[in-house]
């Protein structure tokens, strides 16, 4: 259901009643299930995702000059209402947020970065919520499931739809996934997701997973501003794990950090 909300974030009919029907649940049961799983009501979740998307957009080169355009995209009917909500969430006005850089854009990227067309990729994923320091527990559960079904050699792909600088740690989402064919069905807690065909900026990270954030900054904060490409602020960052950590020393592990490029034809 969270995936459906993320896909239809701008849909004017995104109301609890419609979502409950899609989930085949009575409305009162749907509210309880959703809040138990996410810690938020449906509309709190929708408003937060829209506001966080606005925060990410404001720090991209293609951000609209007029804050009202960003406000409307976030579901607010006025600049003033958007500013109040933004300041309550992030502690600063949207204009101040936009003018405060996250990294020095003049610093050259350290990672090897390339542009690549890729996808679509079908995944079965297991959702982790909370600190990224604990995603290893979710990976262990997923790979136990995969090995039991003869899928231990499947490509490992992580989806990171949130930004730790924007989203509260307790609400961070991360999807651990394995690439599968159409003949493998989702079961239990697993959810089918498809990474769409697109162009991606791909940064090759070598080393510990605990330092992946450094390559994120290289690709998003240093490479994009100088590349001539626009960053897609809505798409999840895709992590493609090229090596098996049981067989390759930590210092030599290779991971591709793939960030979607907006509107490349």
Beta strands 112-118; 121-129: pairing state: unpaired
209 dihedral zone (left: phi>0; alpha: psi -120 to 50; beta): alpha
- The pLDDT of residue 212 is 92
Predicted local confidence at residue 98, as pLDDT: 87
Torsion region of 147: left, alpha or beta (phi above 0 gives left; psi -120 to 50 gives alpha): alpha
85-126: per-residue pLDDT in tens?
999 888 889 999 888 755 444 455 678 999 999 989 999 999
pLDDT, tens digit (0-9, with 9 covering 90-100), for 5-22: 777 777 766 777 877 777
For 151, phi and psi rounded to 5 degrees?
-110, 20
pLDDT digits (tens, 9 = 90+) for 230-261: 888 778 999 999 999 989 999 999 999 999 99
**Which residue from 106, 148, 114, 89 is spatially nearest to 219, judged by alpha carbons?**
114
> How far is it, in rounded angstroms, from Cα 42 to Cα 64?
28
Task: List Cβ<8 Å contacts ≥24 apart for 190-193.
Answer: 190/124, 190/125, 190/126, 190/142, 190/145, 191/3, 191/124, 191/125, 191/126, 191/127, 192/122, 192/123, 192/124, 192/125, 193/3, 193/122, 193/123, 193/124, 193/125, 193/159
The pLDDT score that the predictor gives to residue 265 is 52
pLDDT digits (tens, 9 = 90+) for 18-46: 777 777 777 767 777 788 778 888 888 88
List pLDDT tens digits, range 180-230: 999 999 999 999 999 999 999 999 999 999 999 889 988 988 888 888 898
Helical residues (DSSP H) of 62-177, grouped into ranges: 67-73, 79-90, 94-99, 135-148
pLDDT at 43: 84
pLDDT, tens only, 134-182: 999 999 999 999 999 999 899 999 999 998 888 999 999 999 999 999 9
Domains and their CATH numbers in the chain: 2-99 (1.10.10.60), 112-260 (3.20.80.10)
Task: Specify whether the CB–CB gap between 128 and 135 falls below 8 A.
Answer: yes
Only one residue has tokens 């293609």, namely: 62
Cβ burial, residue 72 (10 Å; 0-12/13-18/19+) = middle
pLDDT band of 60, cuts 50, 70, 90: confident
Using CA of residue 140, residue 144, residue 149, residue 153, what is the dihedral sign? positive
The reply to whether the predicted model has a pTM over 0.85 is: no
**Would the CA dihedral through 72, 75, 79, 83 be positive or negative?**
negative
CA-nearest of 93, 99, 48 to 74 is: 48
Question: Which position has the higher pLDDT, 12 or 73?
Answer: 73
């Amino acid at each position: 259901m969270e995936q459906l909300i993320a896909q239809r974030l701008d849909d004017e009919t995104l109301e609890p009643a419609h979502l409950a029907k899609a989930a085949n649940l009575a409305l009162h049961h749907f509210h309880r299930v959703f809040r138990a799983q996410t810690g938020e009501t449906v509309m709190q979740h929708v408003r937060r995702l829209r506001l966080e998307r606005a925060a990410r957009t404001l720090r991209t080169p293609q951000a609209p000059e007029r804050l009202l355009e960003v406000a409307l995209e976030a579901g607010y009917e006025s600049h003033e209402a958007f500013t109040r909500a933004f300041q309550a969430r992030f502690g600063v006005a949207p204009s101040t947020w936009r003018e405060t850089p996250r990294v020095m854009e003049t610093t050259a990227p350290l990672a090897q970065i390339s542009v690549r067309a890729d996808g679509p990729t079908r995944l079965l994923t297991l959702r982790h919520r909370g600190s990224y320091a604990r995603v290893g527990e979710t990976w262990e559960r997923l790979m136990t499931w995969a090995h039991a079904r003869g899928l231990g050699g499947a490509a490992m792909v992580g989806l990171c739809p949130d930004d730790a600088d924007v989203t509260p740690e307790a609400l961070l989402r991360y999807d651990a996934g394995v690439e599968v064919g159409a003949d493998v069905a989702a079961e239990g807690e697993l959810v089918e997701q498809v990474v769409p065909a697109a162009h991606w900026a791909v940064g090759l990270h070598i080393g510990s997973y605990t330092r992946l954030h450094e390559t994120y900054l290289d690709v998003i904060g240093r490479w994009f501003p100088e590349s001539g490409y626009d960053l897609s602020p809505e798409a999840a960052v895709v992590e493609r794990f090229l090596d098996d950590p049981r067989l390759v020393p930590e210092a030599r592990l290779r991971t591709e950090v793939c960030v979607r490029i907006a509107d490349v034809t």
